[in-house]
Amino acid sequence: MKVSKFGGSSLADGHQLQRVFNIVNADSNRKIIVVSAPGKRFTDDIKVTDLLIKYAEATINDQNTETIISDIKQRYHDIAYHFGLPQESLTDIDQQIDHLAKKHYRSFDYLFAAFAAHGEYLNAQLIAKVFTYLGLPARFIDPKQIGLLVDDNARSATFNTQSYETIAKLDLSTSERLIIPGFFGYTNNGDMATFSRGGSDITGAIMARALSADLYENFTDVSAIYAVNPNIITHPAAIHQMTYDEMRELSYAGFAVFHDEAIIPAIQGGIRINIKNTNDPDAPGTFIVPPTEVQETRPVTGIANSNRFAALYLHRYLLNKEVGFTLRILEILKRHNISYEHMPSGIDDLTIIFDKTNLSQDKVDAMLADIAADIRPDTLKWLPSYGIIMIVGEGMRNRIGALTEIVTPLKENGISLQMVNQGASEISIMLGIQPDLADSAVKAIYNNIFKIE
Ligand SMILES: Nc1ncnc2c1ncn2[C@@H]1O[C@H](COP(=O)(O)OP(=O)(O)O)[C@@H](O)[C@H]1O
Ligand SMILES: N[C@@H](CC(=O)OP(=O)(O)O)C(=O)O
């Protein structure tokens, strides 16, 4: 049995959904179908998830929601009309969209989460109808029904691993395909809570592990994972196979094609992952597997960079001598409910790197004010954007000269670095860089390592 997840780009309109139908219909092992909300149909289009977030904002601010509601409904109607589904089959979906603004929510965060989750929730309902209408019996499965529980973090929830047992009870003996919305689960209070953005990949991985799938197929819009983001370098080298750890580090550092948290259930369950292209389903794609299965040897597997980081820089003489100094800083972070990503330090200097997608300006200001008052640093700077580059590969374990291959092309191109972190992970080297230099740095490093003239 396979779990097949289709991303927003694969479900953006009726034409794409027809391709998805053909893929699912072609293989009876594709039993569990995890779906995202309709994504972008063209470059400047808006994902349904983002339309729903706008709808949530307008609702909170008591603004007129007529246009946004009609835009959201239209996305689902267009898909239904493409297949000639009768008008009545949309009544229920329309009502759920209208009803969203009338419900009571525990907090604004839960309101946002419920609105955003409906992108997937409604799409899964619609897709089950379309498949059945086209002659492939399919049933919508609400994550509530299978006990897919998450913790109380409304918009960046963590899966409750006790749910594996309940999900495993799902009856697979039916001839129907089971259509499960990705991206969200339910809290113990019965509220919808979403994973972080791109989190439908996580639902797919949870289902694959819970049901001990033979394969987790993740369908997207590229024929492979490439050694560099194809938006930075045209036609970069394709990666045919990579290990779980390589994928985790690369997706964390910017390979948006697969969510970094989605690797964890796959590792724990030993589930192989195959990234495939909905628009080119015969291409083998990329396999993400345990290290023993990787046959290719190469010095570096991939180079990722991300612009989702921000940093705090702090300087104070004799910082190294002060007992409990880091603890005091961490207590301030805890008080403001802020987690950090990395904390490189020197004798008198400390940089703390944050994921800015989880930070509001108010939170940052309050944290900086407390640090200034409690720690009294000589210098305290907030860098709203901090570039991170990660060079990743199992081949980097104990390899002499890895850093030279990275730093030499940067020197030749006059690109300076703010931080180098080698050794924390055996398979990666992390660079901190001015964000506007990150793309050029990635190009220079890629061209040197992959010997592109
Ligand atoms: N190294 C990489 N290899 C392939 N695609 C990448 C890479 N880094 C970033 N991407 C981007 O990830 C996109 C697919 O991810 P995403 O938009 O989340 O897909 P989906 O809509 O299927 O969930 C690709 O179109 C590509 O632009
Ligand atoms: N729809 C959600 C979850 C998701 O995974 O979407 P996609 O498959 O389009 O990345 C988002 O936009 O974040």
200 close to ligand 2 (CB < 6 Angstrom): yes
Q: Atom 5, ligand 2: which residue's CA is nearest?
A: 198
Q: Which atom of ligand 2 is nearest to the CA of 7?
A: 8
In this structure, is the dihedral angle defined by the CA atoms of residues 223, 229, 235 and 239, taken in order, positive or negative? negative
What is the tens place of the pLDDT at every residue in 143-188?
999 999 999 999 999 999 999 999 999 999 999 999 999 999 999 9
pLDDT mean over 237-246: 96
From residue 281, alpha-carbon distances to 59, 142, 179, 223, 241 in Å are 40, 28, 20, 8, 17
62 and 177 both lie in a single domain: yes
User: Is 441 a member of any domain?
Assistant: no
User: Is 235 a member of any domain?
Assistant: no
The Cα–Cα gap between 439 and 203 comes to 31
Q: What is the pLDDT of residue 137?
A: 98
119 close to ligand 2 (CB < 6 Angstrom): yes
What is the tens place of the pLDDT at every residue in 176-196?
999 999 999 999 999 999 999
- CA of 226 relative to ligand 1 center, distance in Å: 9
25 and 165 both lie in a single domain: yes
What is the tens place of the pLDDT at every residue in 388-429?
999 999 988 877 888 899 999 999 999 999 999 887 788 999
The Cα–Cα gap between 307 and 389 comes to 9
> pLDDT-based confidence at 453, cuts 50/70/90?
low
Q: Which atom of ligand 1 is nearest to the CA of 226?
A: 3
Percent of the chain whose pLDDT exceeds 90: 88
Q: For all residues of the chain together, what is the average pLDDT?
A: 95
pLDDT at 321 over 90: no
pTM, 2 dp: 0.93
Q: Which of 327, 361, 383 is the last residue of a domain?
A: 383
Q: Which atom of ligand 2 is nearest to the CA of 199?
A: 5
User: Is 344 a member of any domain?
Assistant: yes
Q: Which of 383, 402, 417 is the last residue of a domain?
A: 383
Query: What residues are in contact with ligand 1 under a 6 Å CB criterion?
Result: 7-10, 36, 39, 198, 220-222, 225-226, 229-231, 255-257
pLDDT at 381 over 60: yes
The Cα–Cα gap between 72 and 59 comes to 14
In the block, tokens 């927003």 appear at 8
Contact of 177 with 131, CB cutoff 8 Å:
yes
Q: Which of 189, 221, 253 is the last residue of a domain?
A: 221
User: Is 186 a member of any domain?
Assistant: yes
Query: How would you classify the pairing of strands 177-181 and 419-422?
Result: unpaired
- CA of 258 relative to ligand 2 center, distance in Å: 10
286 close to ligand 2 (CB < 6 Angstrom): no
The Cα–Cα gap between 263 and 244 comes to 6
Q: What is the pLDDT of residue 4?
A: 98
How many structural domains is the chain composed of?
Answer: 2
194 close to ligand 2 (CB < 6 Angstrom): no
The Cα–Cα gap between 227 and 238 comes to 6
**Token output for 374:** 């409690």
Contact of 303 with 392, CB cutoff 8 Å:
yes
What is the tens place of the pLDDT at every residue in 351-363?
999 999 878 899 9
User: Is 439 a member of any domain?
Assistant: no
104 and 213 both lie in a single domain: yes
37 and 185 both lie in a single domain: yes
16 and 145 both lie in a single domain: yes
> pLDDT-based confidence at 452, cuts 50/70/90?
low
Q: What is the pLDDT of residue 64?
A: 96
Contact of 35 with 180, CB cutoff 8 Å:
yes
Percent of the chain whose pLDDT exceeds 70: 100
Q: What is the largest CA-CA distance in the chain?
A: 74
Q: Which atom of ligand 1 is nearest to the CA of 39?
A: 21
- The amino acid at 23: I
The Cα–Cα gap between 145 and 256 comes to 30
User: Is 81 a member of any domain?
Assistant: yes
192 and 313 both lie in a single domain: no
Compute CA 221 distance to the chain's CA centroid, rounded to the nearest angstrom.
Answer: 15
Q: Atom 14, ligand 1: which residue's CA is nearest?
A: 257
206 and 321 both lie in a single domain: no
186 and 335 both lie in a single domain: no
What is the tens place of the pLDDT at every residue in 18-48?
999 999 999 999 999 999 999 999 999 999 9
User: Is 16 a member of any domain?
Assistant: yes
CB atoms within 10 A of CB 325: 17
- CA of 131 relative to ligand 1 center, distance in Å: 26
Ligand nearest to the CA of 253: 1
Task: Find the CATH number of the domain harbouring 335.
Answer: 3.30.2130.10
Q: Was 297 annotated as part of a binding site?
A: no
The Cα–Cα gap between 328 and 121 comes to 43
8 close to ligand 2 (CB < 6 Angstrom): yes
- Domain residues for 334? 309-383
Q: Which atom of ligand 1 is nearest to the CA of 40?
A: 21
The Cα–Cα gap between 224 and 24 comes to 19
- CA of 224 relative to ligand 1 center, distance in Å: 9
Q: What is the pLDDT of residue 322?
A: 80
71 and 217 both lie in a single domain: yes
278 close to ligand 2 (CB < 6 Angstrom): no
Residue 389 CB burial class (10 angstroms; 0-12, 13-18, ≥19)? buried
Ligand nearest to the CA of 218: 1
The Cα–Cα gap between 112 and 107 comes to 9
Q: Atom 1, ligand 1: which residue's CA is nearest?
A: 229
Contact of 186 with 225, CB cutoff 8 Å:
no
Please give the span between the terminal C-alpha atoms of the chain, in angstroms, as a whole number.
Answer: 45
Residue 299 CB burial class (10 angstroms; 0-12, 13-18, ≥19)? middle
Task: Find the CATH number of the domain harbouring 53.
Answer: 3.40.1160.10
pLDDT mean over 7-17: 98
- CA of 200 relative to ligand 2 center, distance in Å: 6
User: Is 410 a member of any domain?
Assistant: no
The Cα–Cα gap between 74 and 435 comes to 38
DSSP 226-285: ESB-TTTSSSPPEESEEEHHHHHHHHHTT-TTS-GGGHHHHHHHT--EEEEETTSTTS--
Q: Was 221 annotated as part of a binding site?
A: yes
Q: What is the pLDDT of residue 426?
A: 86
Q: Which atom of ligand 2 is nearest to the CA of 48?
A: 1
